[in-house]
Amino acid sequence: MPTTTPFQALTFDLDDTLWDNHGVMVETETGHYAWLDEALEAWQRNRGQPPARRFAERFPLEAFLDQRRELAAAYPLRRGDFTWLREQALQRLLVAYGLDSDAARSWAAAAMERFMVLRHQVTPHSEVESLLSTLGQHYRLASITNGNVDIHRLPLGRHFPVAIAAGELLAPKPDARPFLAALARLGTTPARTLHVGDSWREDVEPAHRLGMQVAWISPHIDDMPLPAGIHRLNHVRELPELLRLVGGEQG
Ligand SMILES: [Mg+2]
């Protein structure tokens, strides 16, 4: 008869696992860029140099995206460090717009501050607070994200003694290193850890390859045969039930 290994730890992806990310990303992307365009124009006017063409006219959002893609291709190690890519891309566009390098650097930094404020306006699913509060009594918890939400800027952060920003480690998922870093800091092993995430490529495959069990949050896929150790959930709220089924004793 197969024995179940009691889990010691749970690792969580953040975006689209603990909250829906799409709306926040759209608001963040358009919001900080519009803020930069307006604030820059006001600054130019105050200096008696009203622009003939505003920044966002000269470089619409698509140009910003193209600049990030170019930078990611030119600096492959930084490809997952979205905060760095964004700030560098803004600086380059601002210099191309005619700002000197000091002004470009400070405007890019100010726009990124605005970006981070908007980026953290996420609304965790209503069940998540009590879910993590309960799970945290039985398991060690870590977050592993490729995104640029700093979980410790959110109230939920108190549930995560370990938080891994994979992009800033220069090893975005599916790289194994952010998982290994989380396991090391949690003081546990893959076999005694379950990873929870929505991406097949970035969460399920790498965690499974390391020997972790995985809860795959995938509401849009009908039941299909999955390898042993991979469990599909419609929503993170179903996690306690899964742990009762596969978690063995809580350790
Ligand atoms: Mg995700």
Q: What is the pLDDT of residues 10-50, one digit of tens each?
A: 999 999 999 999 999 999 999 999 999 999 999 999 999 99
List where CATH 1.20.120.1600 sits in the chain.
22-119
201 C-alpha to center of ligand 1: Å? 10
Beta carbons of 131 and 240 less than 8 angstroms apart: yes
> Looking at the domain covering 9-20+123-246, what would its CATH class be?
alpha beta
State pTM to two decimals: 0.91
At residue 2, does pLDDT exceed 50?
no
197 C-alpha to center of ligand 1: Å? 6
235 C-alpha to center of ligand 1: Å? 12
- Residue 85 has a CB neighbour count (10 Å cut-off) of 21
Q: Which residues are CB-contacts of 11 (< 8 A; sequence separation ≥ 6)?
A: 141, 142, 143, 144, 179, 182, 183, 186, 193, 194, 195, 196, 207, 212
Beta carbons of 91 and 103 less than 8 angstroms apart: no
In terms of residues, how long is the chain?
251
List where CATH 3.40.50.1000 sits in the chain.
9-20+123-246
Round to whole Å and give the CA distance between 165 and 200.
Answer: 19
Could you give the 3-state DSSP secondary structure of residue 206? helix
Check residue 1 and give its pLDDT.
40
- Candidates 100, 76, 71, 63; CA nearest to 87 is 71
Is CATH 1.10.3720.10 what the domain over 22-119 is classified as, yes or no? no
244 C-alpha to center of ligand 1: Å? 24
